[in-house]
A and B are shown apart, each in its own frame.
Chain A
Amino acid sequence: MGQKLTIEPVTRVEGHGKVTIHLDDDNNVVQSRLHIVEFRGFERFVQGRPYWEAPVLVQRLCGICPVSHHLAAAKALDVIVGAGSEGLTPTGEKMRRLMHYGQMFQSHALHFFHLVSPDLLFGIDAKPEKRNVIEVAKEFRELAVQGVMMRKFGQEIIRATAGKKIHGTGAIPGGINKNLTLEERDFFVKGPDPLNIDKMIEWSKEAINLFKGYHKEHRALVDTFAAFPSNHLSLVRKDGALDLYHGVLRAIDQDGHKILHDIDYQNYLDYIGEEVRSWSYMKFPFLKSLGKKEGWYRVGPLARLNTCDFIPTPLAQKEFEEFRDYTHGKPNNMSMHMHWARLIETLHAAEAMRDLLNDPDLQGGELVTKGQKRNEGVGLIEAPRGTLFHHYKIDENDLISMCNLIVSTTNNNEPMNMAVRKVADELISGQRSIKESMLNAVEVAIRAYDPCLSCATHALGKMPLEISLIDARGELLDKKTN
């Protein structure tokens, strides 16, 4: 008699999803799936709207990283208004970069301190009432304050560049609608502790050390948990540097061989396809050259540190070298190392913000540039969770006629399903009884990818898990809730 385990909702991730695990008569896992049960539909209802609305409208699909959607849409429209993907004024591009690094910083801080730290500080086996951010605040007050203040700093950067902390309007086709005043700059550079950029860099380094300490004590878990080989994809700067705002598209295989050779992303459709499966609202992207079965890839911090050649800020570069040395220069395929990579990126974002804040171009007056209009444009950006694709076509009257979005989490759809399967095989397969900690282990694997299934969800106190045992005829045998 077969069984089906359901984890719904998956907690401490952004948005709503569920996991189902099907067992055979001997309780071996035969199938596991991460289902995304929300439907957004932005690709359709942006159609017929004036193109300049897209960066403001489409960002509403998310409350955690709307800046990424805002900027990816604006980048696509830069192409449409003739500014090209690299034709912005220095003020325009650097203001956008500052906005984006502020976004990266706050999103990574949110994920590590609010969502992941309970697992690291209290353990995967800890009771649900312990395994949450409130308990972190009680027992590790200083750390919790750091997390909150780092997020606040990033949000304030977004407010100064986009107008609002969430769902701003700063990026417009061909540029930006404001520069950074000296007063705004001084708030971040010379502000009293802790809200200044030097403190953010210091705390980012401490967060990496916290992870490295955990890694040292739990090496077997961190190195093997949900680890599996994969392809990796991200933007890189033309010289191979990590660049979260703009670059060319590079993909490598599990051994580091290039699959995509630094291509212009305007042609992404020649290289990337999307598969629809009936059981999820999320599509499954793949590299066309490898086909649907072998062409899936990972995106996000781990993929970015695997594809890039170096990091163009000194402190993050030093950490990157240690990260790379750990796998002897080969691609890192360990899912839990995603946290390590994410924290190195957090440090890089802080350093990049410091450099930008000290750049006088941010006080420039040339905000927008335009050229020969086109009817189609593609904008890519490295969002906190990975490569984000926005593609628009407009008609002769300036209304959007087509929109295609491949969001970061969509790119990680197959890898997250692989991670679930890996944990299910190792921890659940063959077991006669279900323990809550087994289910959290599945969630820990998903959480490593920091999926943004839509907007925000919170799991304070009791984890809202429900597990059902269903026989092969679909009858409920047992149900367990926490």
Chain B
Amino acid sequence: MNQLIKFKIDGKECMGEKGQNIVDAAKDNQIYIPTLCNIPGIKPRGACRICTVRVNGRLMTACTSPIAEGMEIESKSVDIENLRKAIIELLFTEGNHFCPSCERSGSCDLQALGYKYQMLIPRFKFQFTDRAVEASHPKLIKDHNRCILCKRCIRAIKDEKGRSLFAFGKRGHHVEINIDTKLSKDMTDEQALEATEICPVGAILKKERGFIEPIGQRKYDKQPIGSDIETLEH
């Protein structure tokens, strides 16, 4: 076992293993810090910033920052929670997220966080960005309207040689997820399903299987996001 160190989150005494990032260490201490781009077991990238915490007066991403002895972490202060809510609102207004007809509704991390932070009307203006739906791949559809550019698909879906089946294409605010048509030529149904499930929103869809989970049995129908880690106040 790695060396155990002591730290605090919102004043609560915690213990963690040296080298653990704050998100994982918090989880081990039954404290939920929200994430979108993070995937357990895969190197974090700090892309979405939803896990932002304050350490010694500085804001940093909890998924990429390791715990340290005596560290005092703020996670649930009003301003940090408001910052997280603002990120959620920005993601909703920047893309075209029409939850009522999305097959990920009820299992979508972004939607679940919208509910958690009680986002009713975003304070930012909707951009109504013109985004495409790409459906030429035999097994997958990419709905760029919903993509939050978290890179989860790039980091998680790889072939047997470790090469990513997904990659960023274009630049600046035109950047979008591409599927490598050569590498994904022999994509199995299992890989396609994995790609769909690794996406925290409904941007990657496996063809011909929408809405197979009945309402009531979807991921967040059963319990709100984070409640598997921490008993949340409602």
Q: Are A50 and B100 in contact (CB under 8 A)?
A: no
Partner of A56, one of B101, B135, B141, B214: B101
Q: Does A397 contact B (CB under 8 A)?
A: yes
**B220 to chain A: closest CB distance in Å?**
14
Interface segment, one of A114-122, A167-175, A251-259: A167-175
Within 8 A of A (CB), among B123-172: 133, 135-136, 141
Query: A398 contacts B141, CB within 8 Å?
Result: yes
Complex interface: chain A residues within 8 A of B205 (CB): 50
Question: Which residues of the other chain, A, contact B210 by a CB distance below 8 angstroms?
Answer: 50, 52-53, 172
Chain A residue at smallest Cβ distance from B143: A50
Complex CA gap A398/B135 in Å reads: 7
Specify which chain B residues have a CB less than 8 angstroms from the CB of A399 in the assembled complex. 133, 135
Does B81 make an interface contact (CB < 8 A)? no
Return chain B residues, CB-CB under 8 Å to A57: 100-101
Give Cα A60 to B101, complex, Å: 9
Alpha-carbon separation in the docked complex, A172 to B133 (Å): 21
B196-227 interface mask toward A, CB cutoff 8 Å, 1 = contact, 0 = none? 00000000010111111111110000000000
Chain B residue numbers with a CB within 8 Å of A52 are 103, 208-211
Shortest distance between the CB of B149 and any CB in chain A (Å): 21
Contact of B214 among A170, A397, A398 (CB under 8 A): A170
Chain B residue contacts of A60, Cβ below 8 A = 100-101
* 15 further contact pairs, Cβ within 8 A, besides A81-B208, A169-B214, A398-B141: A49-B101, A49-B133, A52-B103, A55-B211, A57-B101, A60-B101, A163-B216, A167-B100, A168-B215, A172-B211, A178-B217, A397-B135, A398-B208, A399-B133, A399-B135
What are the interface flags for A414-455 relative to B under an 8 Å C-beta threshold, 1 for contact and 0 otherwise?
A: 000000000000000000000000000000000000000000
What is the 8 Å Cβ interface bit string for chain A, positions 148-184, against chain B (1 contact, 0 not)?
0000000000000011100111101100011000000
Bound-state Cα–Cα, A173 to B209, Å: 9
Q: How far is the CA of A398 from the CA of B214 in the complex (A)?
A: 22
State whether A163 touches B208 (Cβ < 8 A). no
Give B residues with C-beta under 8 Å from A: 100-101, 103, 133, 135-136, 141, 205, 207-217
Chain B residue nearest to A49 in the complex (CB) = B133
Cα of A172 to Cα of B213 in the assembled complex, Å:
10
Q: Nearest chain A CB to B150's CB is how many angstroms away?
A: 22
Asked whether any CB of chain B lies closer than 8 Å to the CB of A48, the reply is yes
Q: Is the CB of B100 within 8 A of A56?
A: yes
Closest A residue by C-beta to B215: A163
List 6 tightest A-B contacts by C-beta distance, closest first. Answer: A163-B215, A397-B135, A57-B101, A52-B210, A178-B214, A169-B211
Does A398 lie within 8 Å of B100, measured CB to CB? no
The reply to whether B214 and A177 form a contact with Cβ atoms under 8 Å apart is: yes
Would you call B215 and A169 a contact (CB within 8 A)?
A: yes
Q: Give 25 A-B contacts (CB < 8 Å), ordered by A residue.
A: A48-B133, A49-B101, A49-B133, A50-B135, A52-B208, A52-B209, A52-B210, A56-B100, A56-B101, A56-B211, A57-B100, A57-B101, A60-B101, A81-B208, A163-B214, A163-B215, A169-B215, A172-B210, A172-B211, A177-B213, A177-B214, A397-B136, A398-B207, A398-B208, A399-B135
| Residues of B contacting A162 in the complex (Cβ-Cβ under 8 angstroms) | 215
Distance in angstroms between the alpha carbons of A183 and B207 in the assembled complex: 33
Cα distance A50–B202 in the bound complex, in angstroms: 12
Question: Closest residue to B100 on the A side, CB-wise?
Answer: A60
The docked-state distance in angstroms from the alpha carbon of A429 to that of B216 is: 57
**Given the interface contacts A163-B214, A169-B211, A177-B214, does A53 sit within 8 Å of B136 by beta carbon?**
no
Which residue on chain A has the smallest CB distance to residue B207?
A398
Q: Which B residues are in CB contact (< 8 Å) with A169?
A: 211, 214-215
Interface residues of A in 161-214 (CB under 8 A from B): 162-164, 167-170, 172-173, 177-178
Docked CA distance A169–B212 (Å): 9
Please give the distance in Å from A402's CB to the nearest CB on chain B. Answer: 16
When distances are taken between beta carbons in the complex, the residues of chain A under 8 Å from B141 are: 50, 397-398
Contact with B along A34-77 (1 / 0, CB 8 A): 00000000000000111011011100100000000000000000
What is the CA–CA distance of A173 and B210 in the complex, to the nearest angstrom?
A: 9
Task: Find out whether the CB atom of B135 lies under 8 angstroms from the CB atom of A53.
Answer: no
List B contacts of A164 (CB < 8 A).
215
Q: In the complex, A399→B207 CA distance in Å?
A: 10
Residues of B within 8 Å of A55, CB to CB, are: 211
Is the beta-carbon distance between A53 and B213 smaller than 8 angstroms? Answer: no
